[in-house]
Amino acid sequence: GWCPLSPTGAQTTQLQVEPPWIPAVLWDRVTLTCQGSGTDGATTWYKDGQRWGQEGVNNFTVTKNGTYTCDRPGTGLSPPVTVSNDRLVLQAPAWPLLEGDSVSLHCRV
């Protein structure tokens, strides 16, 4: 699941969220993967707007709630992904939905 998606054909940095549900919640053992056509292995991560200690790795399992972004040289900064610690959430798929689409929602506690 990609969250969020960029316009078709855009060469931008994106964060892949697994499991692919939004909102992402800490107790789902969320893995973030930084994707982009920029330099592989040169990823810089940010948590809540501050440079964060996962330098150089392209993916990791989130252990603290917050808002994450990543930067890849060549494609720039990704849109943010927020991982919350809410106890009750209504989750929807992380991919774009159009009017008329069938969708499964998760109400989780």
- Ordered by start, the domain boundaries in the chain are 14-108
Beta pairing, strands 24-25 & 66-72: unpaired
Calculate the average pLDDT of the chain: 85
Can you give the pTM of this predicted structure?
Answer: 0.81
Per residue of the chain (109 residues), give pLDDT as tens: 444 444 444 568 999 999 999 999 999 999 999 988 766 678 899 999 999 876 778 999 999 999 999 998 888 899 999 999 999 999 999 888 889 989 999 898 8
Q: How many CB atoms lie within 10 A of CB 46?
A: 18
* CATH homologous superfamily of 14-108: Immunoglobulins (2.60.40.10)
Strands 14-18 and 31-35 turn out to be antiparallel
Q: Which run of H or of E encompasses 59?
A: strand 59-61
